[in-house]
Amino acid sequence: MAGRHGSGVDAFYVEGITPLHNLASQIKIIAAFLFVLILVLTPANWFLAFAFYTALVVSLILYIRVPWKLVRTRLLLEIPFVVFALFLPIFGLPPKIDVLGISLSEAGLLAGWNILAKATLGVLTTVILSSTTKPKDFLLGLERLKVPALLVQIAGFMIRYTVVVADEVRRMAVARESRCFEAKGPKSWKILAQGLGVLFIRSYERGERVHLAMLSRGFSGRMPIANTQVVSARDWAFGLLLPVSGLAILFWGWFWY
Amino acid sequence: MGLVLVLNNLALSIKNLKYAYPDGHQALFGVDLDLAFGSRLALLGPNGAGKTTLVLHLNGIIETISGSVEVAGIPVEKKNMKEVRRRVGIVFQDPDDQLFMPTVYDDVAFGPLNLGLSEAEVKKRVEVALEKVKMQEFADRPPHHLSFGQRRRVAVATVLAMEPDILVLDEPSSNLDPASRRELSEILLALDVTLFMVTHDIPYALEICPEAAILNGGKIVARGSTRELLANNELMSANRLELPFGMHLDHIPHN
């Protein structure tokens, strides 16, 4: 049965023409990684430093012209951490302080802020990375950075087959509903769980078939890739602007606080 | 009163059905199709003609937005959905999509249980349905241990167990070896049910369905006796339909 299929997983990529879009992906991956590392190294009570980081990230987002609505949607990823961060002040250790009549732990407040600030800035950094890098370029970047080939391949297959598996989920749901199944209430959980189990087995079997098809076309453990993009020192300098600025802020904080 | 009787004679009535996918791609451009109780109709059409989209309208998986679809006189709309889905049984092309329970028995029982039937009634329905597709001995086997042809037959049974008014088959002969093909056609011909078969397997359509309709470009472009439609070379080639290599209509016996 044909029907309409889901859209591809290039969905995170936002078409653009800024130099950041064209920059070799391994530089962007390194830059993003270093910047997140700097964020994590910054003590929670250097509030002004976090303000500077935010300014840096926000101006970068403006620069690559990602719509704010999109940024907001991707920030939803953060919600579990936010929930955890909100619990810390309530259940944290004394000394307690009163905020709007609620007794909150001082250490907990700081720890909550720490998670919230770093997670938000970290997610925004990955939004910048994913919006300017196509998934295939991202994988290429990982490969060039000498990440173990097996891991890169697994990530690659995940991207390739997400759409296929999502399609399979949809077809199974249609077949269920066509036999009067309604997904509501605990009674339906067993059926849904069985569906999930079947999906797992089928994905595993598909994996085997794909592997066989690869072997029969001469696959021997490495993906053949054409690596032609030339990377200059200027590219590195441009790409590392973000972590270097971050580092500058970190050093400034060192002296200031 | 007369009108009600007329409506009740039709297992399926589609009027001016139009549909465009949310992405703007229009698949159906005003489909009109009637199907009398007890008839067997093959819906022929090339890839991308809108066959699948049409099938998904029959039991409300795709909501009717423009035009109307009625099953046994009941409009396909939200408030009638359970009744409609009981009356329209769809056998999907890939049996693996349809079979997801641990055993054949559980899978055939899935639909009747959803209808809220008693345990005894469900048991009876499963036995009857499996007997009709000649799979009684396999009731306790897990579906993935069956051959493809057997799985296709179990998929038919899962729908028969709901005692539908119309049996809708999407490419029933695809991926079957010749023997499984024949076994399935024997089973289908023995069923006392209105049959709506979507296919581009033309010999199969001719064998099973006295009547055929051709869907192309989101419209029904022809309707009539299957043999007559197939004999019309101009019509056939205009709709990207052809008999398999080396086959001629005269070689296929009249049934």
- In this complex, the residue of B25, B97, B111 whose CB is nearest that of residue A171 is B97
Residues of B in contact with A4 (CB under 8 A): 21, 23, 25
SS3 of residue B243 by DSSP: coil
Residue with more model confidence, B132 or A4 = B132
The predicted structure's pLDDT at residue A41:
92
> Which residues on A lie below 8 Å from B97 (Cβ)?
168, 171-172, 174-175
Q: Is the pLDDT of residue B183 over 50?
A: yes
* CA of A245 vs chain B CAs: smallest distance (Å): 43
Section B234-242 average pLDDT: 91
Please write the tens of the pLDDT for every residue from A225-242: 655 667 888 888 888 889
Which of A186-190, A197-201, B185-189 has the highest average model confidence (pLDDT)?
A: B185-189
Residues of chain A positioned with their CB less than 8 A from the CB of B107: none
Average pLDDT, chain A: 83
Q: Does A172 touch chain B (CB under 8 A)?
A: yes
**Hunting for tokens 């390194």 — which residue is that?**
A30
Q: Decide: helix, strand or coil at residue A29.
A: helix
Helices B148-160 and B104-114, packing angle to 10 deg? 20
**Domain-wise residue ranges, chain B:** 10-248
CB A125 within 8 A of CB A57: yes
CB pair distance less than 8 Å for B102 and A201: no
Which parts of B37-86 are beta strand (E)? 40-44, 66-71, 74-75
- pLDDT tens-digit map of A40-96: 999 888 889 999 999 999 999 998 888 888 888 888 888 888 888 888 877 777 777
Q: Closest to B111 (Cβ–Cβ): which among A168, A179, A201? A: A179
The pLDDT assigned to A159 comes to 80
Residues A56, A69: Cα–Cα separation, whole Å: 19
- What is the pLDDT, as a whole number, of residue B142? 84
Residue of A nearest to B161 (CA): A179
Query: What percentage of chain B carries pLDDT values higher than 70?
Result: 96
- Point out the residue among B23, B59, B100 whose CB comes nearest to the CB of A195: B100
A-B CB pairs within 8 A amount to: 66
Topology of domain B10-248, per CATH? Rossmann fold (3.40.50)
- Residue B66 forms beta bridges with which residues? B18
Q: Provide the pLDDT for residue B129.
A: 96
Residue A218: per-residue pLDDT: 66
Q: What is the pLDDT of residues A204-229, one digit of tens each?
A: 888 888 877 777 666 767 666 655 66
Report the predicted TM-score, pTM, of the whole model to 2 decimal places: 0.71
Our CA angle for A124, A125, A130, nearest 5°, is 95
What pLDDT is stored for residue B96 in this prediction? 83
Classify residue A206 by burial, with Cβ atoms within 10 Å: 0-12, 13-18, 19+.
Answer: middle
pLDDT band at B2 (very low <50, low <70, confident <90, very high): very low
| Domains in chain A: boundaries | 10-141+230-256, 146-215
Interface touch A175/B52, C-beta < 8 Å: no
Highest average pLDDT, of A233-247, B196-210, B234-248, comes from B196-210
Average pLDDT over residues A188-207: 88
Residue with tokens 């295939």: A136
Higher pLDDT, residue B127 or A217? B127
Nearest residue of chain B to residue A178 (CA atoms): B85
- Reported for A58-64, long-range contacts at CB under 8 A and 24+ positions apart, including other chains, are A60/A20, A60/A128, A60/A242, A61/A124, A61/A127, A61/A128, A63/A18, A63/A20, A64/A14, A64/A16, A64/A18, A64/A20, A64/A21, A64/A128, A64/A131, A64/A132
Q: How confident is the model at residue B99 (pLDDT cuts 50, 70, 90)?
A: confident
| pLDDT: which is higher, B52 or B69 | B69
The pLDDT of residue B8: 57
Q: Two tokens at B31?
A: 């489909």
- Calculate mean pLDDT across residues B61-77: 92
Which residues of chain B are at the A interface, by a Cβ-Cβ cutoff of 8 Å? 21, 23, 25, 47-48, 51-53, 55-56, 59, 61, 82, 85-86, 88-90, 92-94, 96-98, 100-102, 110-111, 114-115, 144, 158-159, 162, 170-171
Burial (0-12, 13-18, 19+ Cβ within 10 Å), B108: buried
Residue that is written with structure tokens 């997610």 in the block = A123
Work out the average pLDDT over B70-88: 91
Name the residue among A46, A19, A250, A32 with its Cα closest to residue A121: A32
Is residue B19 within 8 A of residue B215, CB to CB? The reply is no
Q: Do B85 and A172 touch (CB under 8 A)?
A: no
Residue B4 has pLDDT above 70, yes or no: no
pLDDT tops 50 at residue B1: no
Q: What is the pLDDT of residue A5?
A: 42
Cross-chain Cβ contact A174/B158 below 8 Å: no
Residues with Cβ within 8 Å of residue A203, at least 6 apart in sequence: A161, A165
B157: nearest CA partner in chain A: A179
By CB atoms closer than 10 A (0-12, 13-18, 19+), residue B245 is exposed
pLDDT band at A10 (very low <50, low <70, confident <90, very high): low
Residue B166 backbone class (left: φ over 0; alpha: ψ -120 to 50; beta: rest): beta
Q: Which chain A residue has the Cα nearest residue B172?
A: A1
The pLDDT of B41-63, averaged and rounded, is 90
CA B155-B240-A163 angle, 5° bins:
50
SS3 B64: coil
- Asked if pLDDT for residue A243 goes beyond 80, the answer is yes
Choice among A39-43, A184-188, A244-248, B28-32 with the minimum mean pLDDT: A184-188
